[in-house]
Structure 1
């Protein structure tokens, strides 16, 4: 396996995975209704109903949900428990970008010896790559995913005779045409407050922000694909045809409502945001594939999470059985869709569970057909063990670039992200390939 190590720590991620699995005193699925295996699951999602279904059908393995804050707080809490040697759950909901951090900290068990050999076929290559880090080890079972999509106000497009862009060159031309037709309107905004959004756009362009080779990490943020994306957006902001305000602000919400934001580069989960922030515009929006750079369709991912088994679990086999059922069983996935509003990572489960368009997009019955194509074209993208540092650098550096409104400032931000990320890896004891 290609792997990374901290100086003075275990030699490689592959070796660490073997050590972790060996330390887990697994009793498998040997529980009984009278003496069940008891598992704890840390998650921020509303999973009580689906876990109740499991517990009813599997009296020999009982799962208790422990609701946690999402994002960094849950990861910090888990790593604290792992370091202390006690208090960690059996399972944890983990965002894809957090998995390398957890693996490098020896917090996750390798599930490759306990999963069905056909399981990988349930998921697209891009999603499966996120839980394997390009190796034979399996660190989690994918749960939901966030393929990116382009949302636009169909009424405004019709009013001004605009066509839906299929390439980024066409997107730029449509942005210019909209500004010419309505000087108050924008086709979108460059947002410096969500690094996952920009990472998804870079992913579509075939960027490789991190890579693993033998015993070292490579960092490729400041390379041609990401620079291409930054130059494109910096040029549009400098030209004044794309807004430079961040998403999720009262100003942005108001623009969604009044039509001065006539488009949004979002993800498959965006209907929930639009219905919550611009409810009165239901039926006016439509979804389309993300514009491409040309050639074969590719896509990026914005968001999504998995179910991982921790290195302190004494029941890796039972926990893996539950995690697999949770994320691939048609009945379980249907409950997840109905109660937690996810877009399933399992392609077959998504097709069977999502048969009607979101209510906000009732005017577009083929919404989930478009979403399925978007999910199928997501390309692999490697995250690294210090993604939090890179994402924080994005927020800081691109906030300055968005205010400067020059393409040069955007490309300089990419270089700054690269340096900050490499410096942090080295200061944390990782070997970095130059």
Structure 2
């Protein structure tokens, strides 16, 4: 199965999806029998998703969906894979992080719903659609939410220091130096050794794609030149001491946001909720900008996070489940509910116009927040994930944890080599063929 999956993925990556009109239904779309009454289960970790689903249940009496709240990330995947292997207990519908989809496809845990959903490609950013199709024609879910990266900064600190918002990474480094020199307790950012998804997004912006397929083999390029450039950049700033070296999402990091010693954050579009939850007293002092670029003349961006809604391979009601999945992620009322009730950033291109008309409460001082988010979401550099993301991410935590603690620039590049070796070794041990 592993070799077959690699070959299928290779074919998908080399195939060009047919041009589409953007209609909800395609010529090959299949629909559910409107007279059949079915009950579907949906595993999701998004908050208040049961309230979002109420809109569907009210208008679809024959297809009722029950939400079962789950833990996100690896626990959700492990639970689903256990149910799939047992042959029972799996839900009909599953919220799946983009980086986990190759793992779920390899395990035959999610279904291809291309015929059921029709042609939806034009309704989503290219990067999000690539994540659910693996670059081909099979559709393993519909994009639900995305995480284009953005730069959050304390505007009051910038004004006091007399610095401008950096548009390039060279400018970011200069601003970091000036702010830290003016107040040695203040840092523009931190290198986070416990957030591999954050670093993957920064690497994607630089042009990296850590996994790929060559024929019937996987390729792994975690220590390629693009990612090395990112690692060397952050290693240099950590060694210089002008940014912090402590992980994010810790009590120490939260305190730094509150007391004004952490005055910038390279986050994602969902960042306002994090800032409001961890530093509510600083409301009104933050502004948002696009991520700095390596080349201002050729802007690019990366994703940090995001998930799809997939139909599992064991669902007995594939057509009805796919009909719900399509509604959840394209219907204007559903998009409004996702944004306003579930507090996620919908991936659909139409979301900005129909659901994201007011800035997040924490950024009420910035009415153009979602216009910036839409610009940030124009991600053109695809990033392919492999079937052993968990191994690579675990190796990242270990290797970069040591590098950040050591505060030596050379250690950051060496960390990438360690992650590369661990990822390749695991693929080979699992029976995959690895090129190179």
Task: Report TM bin, short chain.
Answer: over 0.9
Q: Deviations over 1:311-336 (max 9, x none)?
A: 11122111111101001100011111
Helix, strand or coil at the partner of 1:81? helix
Judge which range, 329-338 or 226-235, deviates more.
Answer: 329-338
Which residue number corresponds to residue 253 of structure 1?
254
Q: Deviations over 1:170-200 (max 9, x none)?
A: 0011111111111111110001011111011
Q: TM-score, normalised by structure 2?
A: 0.93
Alignment size in residue pairs? 418
Which residue number corresponds to residue 17 of structure 2?
none
Which residue number corresponds to residue 395 of structure 2?
393
Q: Deviations over 1:188-239 (max 9, x none)?
A: 0001011111011001001010002231110010100100000000000001
- Alpha-carbon shift at residue 15 of structure 1 (Å): 11
Query: 8 Å contact 2:10–2:216 — kept in the other structure?
Result: no
Equivalent-residue separation in structure 2 for 1:150 and 1:381 (angstroms): 20
- Alpha-carbon shift at residue 11 of structure 1 (Å): 7.5
How much is the aligned-residue C-alpha RMSD, in angstroms? Answer: 1.8
TM-aligned CA distance change 1:82 to 1:13, over 3 Å: farther
- Alpha-carbon shift at residue 377 of structure 1 (Å): 3.1
Query: 8 Å contact 2:190–2:247 — kept in the other structure?
Result: yes
Equivalent-residue separation in structure 1 for 2:175 and 2:5 (angstroms): 53
> Of 311, 326, 344, which aligns to 2:328?
326
Structure 2 residue 82 is matched with structure 1 residue 43: no
Which residue number corresponds to residue 418 of structure 1?
420
Helix, strand or coil at the partner of 1:426? helix
Equivalent-residue separation in structure 1 for 2:11 and 2:170 (angstroms): 46
Which residue number corresponds to residue 124 of structure 1?
125
Query: 8 Å contact 1:31–1:37 — kept in the other structure?
Result: no
Which residue number corresponds to residue 154 of structure 1?
155
Q: TM-score, normalised by structure 1?
A: 0.93
Pairwise mapping of residues 213-362 of structure 1 onto structure 2 (< 5 A)?
213-294=214-295, 295-362=297-364
Gaps of 5+ in 2: 13-29
Which residue number corresponds to residue 21 of structure 1?
none
Structure 2 residue 32 is matched with structure 1 residue 29: yes
Structure 2 residue 9 is matched with structure 1 residue 6: no
- Alpha-carbon shift at residue 269 of structure 1 (Å): 0.6
Structure 2 residue 370 is matched with structure 1 residue 374: no
- Alpha-carbon shift at residue 13 of structure 1 (Å): 3.7
Query: 8 Å contact 1:209–1:220 — kept in the other structure?
Result: yes
- Alpha-carbon shift at residue 349 of structure 1 (Å): 2.2
Helix, strand or coil at the partner of 1:114? helix
Equivalent-residue separation in structure 1 for 2:9 and 2:59 (angstroms): 35
- Alpha-carbon shift at residue 49 of structure 1 (Å): 1.4
Equivalent-residue separation in structure 2 for 1:96 and 1:102 (angstroms): 10
Q: Deviations over 1:5-50 (max 9, x none)?
A: 525x767446999xxxxxxxxx951152xx5122111111221112
Equivalent-residue separation in structure 2 for 1:426 and 1:11 (angstroms): 13
TM-aligned CA distance change 1:51 to 1:176, over 3 Å: same
Equivalent-residue separation in structure 1 for 2:193 and 2:183 (angstroms): 25
Which residue number corresponds to residue 24 of structure 1?
none
Which residue number corresponds to residue 166 of structure 1?
167
Query: 8 Å contact 2:193–2:396 — kept in the other structure?
Result: yes
